[in-house]
Structure 1
Amino acid sequence: MEIGAQVASWLDRHHEEVLGWRRHLHQHPELSHMEYRTTEYLASVLKEHGMEPHLFPVTGLMVDIGPEGDSRLAFRADIDALPLIESTDLPFSSEVMGVAHSCGHDVHTVIALALACALNTIELPIGIRVIFQPAEEVMDGGATEVISNGGLDGVDAIYAIHVEPKLKVGRVGVRAGAITSASDVIEIRVKGEGGHSSRPHLSQDIVYALGKLVVDLPGLLSRRVDPRTGTVLVFGAINAGYAPNAIPDSGSVSGTLRTADIGTWRDIRPLIAELVDQVLAPTGVTHELIYNPGVPPVLNDDVATALLASAARDVDAQSVVQAPQSSGGEDFSWYLEHVPGSMARLGCWSGQGPKQDLHQSDLVVDERAIGVGVRLFGSLVQQYSSRSEAFLNS
Structure 2
Amino acid sequence: MPPLAEDASPQPVPPWLDGFLDAHLDELVAFRRRLHAHPEVSWAEVETTAAVIDRLRVAGLSPSQLPESTGLVCDLATGTASSFEAPSDGRPVVALRADLDALAMEDEKDVAYRSTLPGVAHACGHDVHTTVVLGAALALAEAVKEGELTGAFRFIFEPAEEALPGGAPSVIDAGALGGVSSMLGVHCDPKIDVGQVALRTGPITSAADMARITILGPGGHTARPELTVNLLAVLGQVLSQVPERMAKAAAPAEVLVVFGSTHGGDAPNVIPTRATATATIRTPDVEAWEHAAELLDQATRAVVEPTGATLEFAYRKGVPPSVNAAAPTRSLRRAAASVVGEHNTVEAQHSRGGDSFAWYARQVPASYARLGTFNPASGAPRPDIHSGAFDVDERSIGIGVRLLVGAALAERDRLASG
Aligned to 1:59: 70
The aligned counterpart of 1:284 is 308
Distance 1:171 1:3 in 2: 17
Does residue 383 (structure 1) correspond to residue 410 (structure 2)? The answer is yes
Corresponding residue for residue 381 of structure 2: 354
Aligned to 1:257: 281
Tell me the SS of whatever aligns to 1:377.
Answer: helix
> Could you tell me which residue of structure 2 aligns to residue 25 of structure 1?
35
TM-score, structure 1 length as denominator? 0.96
Cα contact 2:247–2:254 (8 A) shared by 1: no
For the 8 Å contact 2:182–2:411, the answer to whether it is kept is no
Could you tell me whether the CA contact under 8 Å between 1:67 and 1:125 is conserved in 2?
no
Which stretches in structure 1 are left out of the alignment for 5+ residues? Answer: none
C-alpha contact (below 8 Å) 2:250/2:295 kept by paired residues: no
Q: Give 2:166's aligned residue.
A: 141
- SS of corresponding position for 2:246: helix
Q: Does structure 1 residue 309 correspond to structure 2 residue 319?
A: no
Give the drift of 1:5.
Answer: 3.0
- 2:416, 2:324 → 1: CA distance? 19
- Within 5 Å, which residues of 2 pair with 1:176-255? 176-227=201-252, 229-255=253-279
Letter in 2 for 1:208: A
TM-superposed deviation, 1:204: 1.1
Structure 1, 358-367 or 123-132: larger mean CA deviation: 123-132
Distance 2:46 2:182 in 1: 28
Show the 5 A alignment for 1:72-91: 72-91=93-112
Q: Is the CA contact 1:4–1:380 (under 8 Å) kept in the aligned structure 2? A: no
State the Cα distance separating 1:237 from its structure 2 match.
0.4
CA root-mean-square deviation: 1.2
Instruction: State the shift of 1:385 in Å.
Output: 2.5
Q: How does 1:312-391 map to 2 (within 5 A)?
A: 312-317=336-341, 318-352=343-377, 353-390=380-417
SS of aligned partner of 1:52: coil
Please give the secondary structure, in 1, of the residue aligned with 2:314. Answer: strand
The partner residue of 2:295 within 271, 292, 296 is 271
Residue 293 of structure 1 aligns to a residue whose secondary structure is strand
- How far did 1:241 drift? 0.5
Deviations 1:23-77 (A, max 9, x none): 1111110000000111111111111111110111220001111252432100000
Work out whether residues 103 and 122 of structure 2, in 8 Å CA contact, stay in contact via their aligned partners in 1.
yes
Match of 1:150 among 163, 166, 175: 175
Whole-angstrom CA distance in 1 between matches of 2:401 and 2:348: 19
2:184 maps to 159
Matched-pair contact (CA < 8 Å) for 2:103–2:121: yes
Give the Cα–Cα distance (whole angstroms) in 1 for the partners of residues 15 and 167 of structure 2: 33
- Could you tell me whether the CA contact under 8 Å between 1:295 and 1:333 is conserved in 2? yes
- SS of the equivalent of 1:112 reads helix
148-157 or 6-15, which deviates more: 6-15
Tell me the SS of whatever aligns to 1:190. strand
Match for residue 4 of structure 2?
Answer: none
CA gap of 1:360–1:301, structure 2 versus 1, over 3 A, is same
- 1:9 pairs with 2:31: no
CA distance in 1, matches of 2:294, 2:344: 43
Aligned length: 389
- Contact map agreement 1:7 1:115 (CA 8 A) in 2: no
Q: How much has 1:90 moved relative to structure 2?
A: 1.0
Identical residues among aligned pairs (%): 39
Letter matched to residue 308 of structure 2: G
- 2:82 maps to none
Distance 1:381 1:7 in 2: 13
- Separation in 2, partners of 1:276, 1:43: 48
CA distance in 1, matches of 2:22, 2:169: 35
Shift >6 Å, 4+ stretches: none
Q: Give per-residue Cα distances to partners, 1:114-162, cap 9 Å, x unaligned.
A: 1111111112321010111000001021000000011101100001110
SS in 1 for 2:372: strand
Deviations 1:160-202 (A, max 9, x none): 1100000000110000000000011001011101111110011
User: What's the CA shift for 1:258?
Assistant: 0.3
What is the rounded CA distance, in whole Å, between the counterparts of 1:8 and 1:131 in structure 2?
A: 24
CA distance in 1 between partners of 2:14 and 2:320 (Å)? 32
Supply the AA of the counterpart residue of 2:369: A
Whichever residue aligns with residue 134 of structure 2, its letter is L
